[in-house]
Amino acid sequence: MRVDILSNINNPGQLERLYRANKANFKQEFSSVYPQLSGNILADFWYERLNYESDAISWGSRKELLFIAIASLLAGLIAKLPAMFPISEDFFYPRNIGFIVFPFLAAYFAWKNKLPTDKQGLLTGALVVCLIYINSLPNNNTSDTLLLACIHLPLLLWVILGISFAGDELSNYKKRLGFLQFNGDLAVMSAMFVIAGVIMTGITIGLFALIGFHIEEFYFEYVVAFGLPAVPIVATYLTQTNPHLVNKVSPVIAKLFSPLVLVMLIIYLGAIVYSGKDPYNDREFLLLYNVLLIGVMALIFFSVAESSTKAKDTIGVWVLLLLSVVTVVVNSIALSAISFRISEWGITPNRLAVLGGNVLMLIHLLIVTVMLFKTTKKAAITEVGRSIVLYIPVYFVWAAVVVFLFPLLFGFR
C-alpha cells in the first residue's frame, strides 16, 4: 500500500481507488509517509480529508453489506450444526469452534485485499487440512493430546487470518503490527456489541414475560445462537469501514489498564506469599496463573501496537517497561513451577506443552523488555513493535507442533 501511495501521489483517481479498497490500511500507511510528502497539494488534501473528524457512519457498499450478511448467516448455521444433524456437541464444538468465525474473517480480508488466486488457494487449503485433521483425531474425551490440539488450533487459524489481513505485504512489519492493533480494536468493538446484546436480551425477554410469553428457549436457540457468531464478523466490518469508531477508545483503554494491571500484578505477587497457594503443587492454580500471564502479555503487545502509531509517550513507555519486567517475574515463576512438576512426576503432553509455551513467552518478553528499555533512551517505539511481530511465527511453529505432532508422539493419549 505504501509503495502504491507514493507512486500514485499525483494520480487522484488511483488514490481514491486505493482508499476505497482498504480505508483503514490506506489511512495508516498515508499517515506514515505524509511527512515526506508535505507541501504536495494533493497530499495535503488527503491529509486533511483523512484527519477530518466526522460523526457519520459509513456502511460501505452493497456488495460489502451482502458479504457480511451472508457470512454472518453461514457462521450461525455452522454453530447450529449439532442441532440440525445428529452430531454430538461434545465432539463438534471443542474441535470446530474456531471454524465458526475465522474462515469468514479470512475470506473478508482476502476479498478486500484482492489476494491472487494462488494465495487464496493456499489459505483455503490450509483451512481444509486443519478442518479434516482435527475432526479425524480419535474421539477420546480423556485424551490430553486431543485437548491440546483443540486449544492450539485456533492459534493456527488466527495466523491464517493474519496472513489474509496482511495481503501482499506480509513481510512488512508495520502491516503485522496493524494486525495486532486490529485485534485490539476488534475486541473493543465486540465487547460493546456483546454488552448491547445482553441489555437487549434482558429487555426483550422481560417485555414478553410481562404479557405471558416465555421466549427464553426460543430466543437463546435462534437469536443468540446466530447473533454471537455474527458479532466478530460485523465488528470487523465496522472497524475497517469506520476506523474512527474505536481509534480513540482503544488507546484510552490501553493507557488506563496498563498501570492498573501493573499495580494489580505487584500486589498479586505479594498476596501469593500469604495465601498458601502456589503453582508448584496446585495444578489448577498453575493453569489460571498461565491464563493470567497470557492476558497480561496480550495487553502489553496491544499497548505497544497502539503506541507505535502515536508520538512517543515517555511515561507510557516506562509503564510498559515496568509491566514487562513484572510479567517476566510472573513467567519465571510459572516456568519454574512446570519444571518442578516435570522433575517430580515426569513428562506428560500437558506439562510439555505448558513448558514449551512458557519458554517461548519468556524469551519473547525478555526481547520486548530489552527493546522497551532502549526506547527509554533513544530508540523509537516502533522498534518494540518490530520485535513483537517478528517473533510471532515462533508461536505458530510451536502451535503446529502441538496440534500435528503431539498426538503422534504421545500415541493419542
Cβ–Cβ < 8 Å for 304, 320: yes
At residue 71, does pLDDT exceed 90? yes
End-to-end CA distance of the chain: 48
Distances (CA, A) of 397 to 106, 165, 318, 357: 20, 19, 32, 11
| This model's pTM is above 0.75 | yes
The residue whose grid cell reads 456483546 is 194
**pLDDT tens for each residue of 187-233:** 889 999 999 999 999 999 999 999 988 999 899 988 999 999 999 99
- 312 — pLDDT class (breaks 50, 70, 90): low
**pLDDT tens for each residue of 139-185:** 888 889 999 999 999 999 999 999 999 888 878 888 888 888 888 88
Higher pLDDT among residues 312 and 27, named by residue:
27
Distance, in Å, from the CA atom of 201 to the CA atom of 376, rounded to the nearest integer, reads: 48
Higher pLDDT among residues 383 and 209, named by residue:
209
pLDDT over 70, % of the chain = 95
**pLDDT tens for each residue of 72-110:** 999 999 999 998 999 999 999 999 999 999 999 999 999
Distance, in Å, from the CA atom of 49 to the CA atom of 46, rounded to the nearest integer, reads: 5
**pLDDT tens for each residue of 350-372:** 889 999 999 999 999 999 999 88
pLDDT over 90, % of the chain = 37
